[in-house]
A and B are shown apart, each in its own frame.
Chain A
Amino acid sequence: MMKNENLVHYIYGIADNALILGQRLSELCGHGPSLETDIALTNMALDLLGQTRSYYQYAAQLLGDGKTEDDIAYLRIERQYKNVLLVEQPNKHFGYVITRQFFYDVFHLLLLQELQNSKDETLSAIAKKGIKEVSYHQRFSSDWMKRLGDGTEESRKKTQEAINDLWKFTDELFHMTEDDKQVFEAEIGVDVTTLKQLYNQRVKEVLEEATLTIPEIKWFQKGGKQGIHSEHMGYLLSDLQYMQRTYPNMKW
Chain B
Amino acid sequence: MTIELENHIDPMLFPILEKVHDPEIPVLSIMDMGVVRFAQMINSVAQIKITPTYSGCPAMDVIGEDIVEAFAKENIEAKVSLVLSPAWTTDWITPRGRESLEEYGIAAPLEENADKEALLNNKRIVKCTNCGSVNTKLVSQFGSTACKALFKCEDCLEPFDYFKCLK
Contacts and interface: CB of A to CB of B under 8 A. Distances in A.
Interface stretch (B20-28, B50-58, B96-104): B50-58
B94 interface: no
Interface residues of A, number: 29
A129 B87 contact: yes
B141 interface: yes
B64 interface: no
A46 B85 CA distance: 20
B131 to A, nearest CB: 23
B166 A39 contact: no
B146 interface: yes
B7 interface: no
Contacts of A130: 55
Contacts of B88: 129
A26 to B, nearest CB: 11
Main secondary structure of the interface of B (DSSP, over half): loop
A46 B145 CA distance: 10
Given A126-B84, A132-B167, A53 B143 contact: no
Interface string A128-155: 1110110010011001000000000000
B140 A46 contact: no
Given A36-B139, A36-B142, A39-B140, A50 B85 contact: no
B27 to A, nearest CB: 22
Main secondary structure of the interface of A (DSSP, over half): helix
Contacts of A44: 142
A39 B139 CA distance: 12
A51 B167 CA distance: 17
B84 A129 contact: yes
A51 to B, nearest CB: 5
A51 B55 CA distance: 6
A14 B164 CA distance: 27
A125 B85 contact: yes
A140 B141 CA distance: 8
Contact of B145 (A43, A45, A136): A43
A50 B166 CA distance: 16
A124 interface: yes
B141 A47 contact: no
A42 to B, nearest CB: 8
Contacts of A45: 56
A29 interface: no
Contact of A46 (B58, B87, B120, B167): B58
A183 interface: no
A208 B1 CA distance: 60
B120 A128 contact: no
A40 B167 contact: no
B144 interface: yes
A200 to B, nearest CB: 24
A47 B146 contact: yes
A20 interface: no
A125 B150 contact: no
Contact of A48 (B56, B57, B58, B139): B56
Contacts of A53: 55-56
B56 A39 contact: no
B54 A46 contact: yes
Interface string B132-167: 000000011111111000100000000000001011
Contact of A49 (B56, B119, B139, B164): B56
Shortest 3 CB-CB distances between A and B: which pairs?
Answer: A50-B56, A50-B55, A125-B85
6 contacts: A44-B142, A46-B54, A53-B55, A53-B56, A128-B85, A136-B141
Given A43-B142, A124-B85, A129-B87, 17 more contacts: A36-B139, A36-B142, A39-B143, A40-B140, A40-B141, A43-B146, A47-B56, A47-B146, A50-B57, A51-B55, A53-B56, A125-B85, A128-B85, A128-B86, A129-B55, A129-B88, A133-B146
